[in-house]
């Protein structure tokens, strides 16, 4: 497994975006709202496409992406962490 971790020391992700999930294709589970296109926090200056793109690439290659806040018990305020994992090549 290859893993890339990106962290910052900003405000973190809005808790409602981490906790909310939406159904994915053909009832195969849910995807955190944070990874949906055009979804972004109220403080974001972006367009809400970056994490959606990262999530799509990971899934297309059989991997996964996990986002969390680095604060106490995952609360916002101490930065964000995104872990991108891909399985070994065959």
Q: Does the residue 47 lie in any domain? A: yes
Q: Does the residue 35 lie in any domain? A: yes
Is the pLDDT reported for residue 26 higher than 60?
Answer: no
Contact 31, 55 (CB under 8 A): yes
Contact 3, 87 (CB under 8 A): no
Q: Does the residue 3 lie in any domain? A: no
Q: Does the residue 39 lie in any domain? A: yes
Question: pLDDT tens, 31-88?
Answer: 888 998 998 888 888 999 999 999 999 999 999 999 999 877 666 668 899 999 999 9
The number of CA neighbours under 13 Å toward the Cβ of 53 is 4
pTM of the model: 0.81
Length of the chain: 90
Q: Does the residue 81 lie in any domain? A: no
| Domain count for the chain | 1
């Amino acid at each position: 497994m290859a893993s890339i971790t990106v962290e910052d020391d900003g405000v973190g992700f809005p808790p409602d975006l981490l906790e909310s999930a939406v159904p994915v294709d053909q009832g195969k589970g849910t995807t955190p709202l944070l990874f949906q296109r055009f979804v972004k926090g109220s403080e974001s200056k972006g367009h809400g496409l970056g994490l959606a793109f990262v999530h799509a690439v990971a899934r297309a290659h059989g991997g996964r992406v996990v986002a969390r806040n680095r604060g106490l018990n995952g609360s916002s305020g101490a930065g964000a962490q995104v872990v991108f994992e891909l399985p070994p090549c065959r």
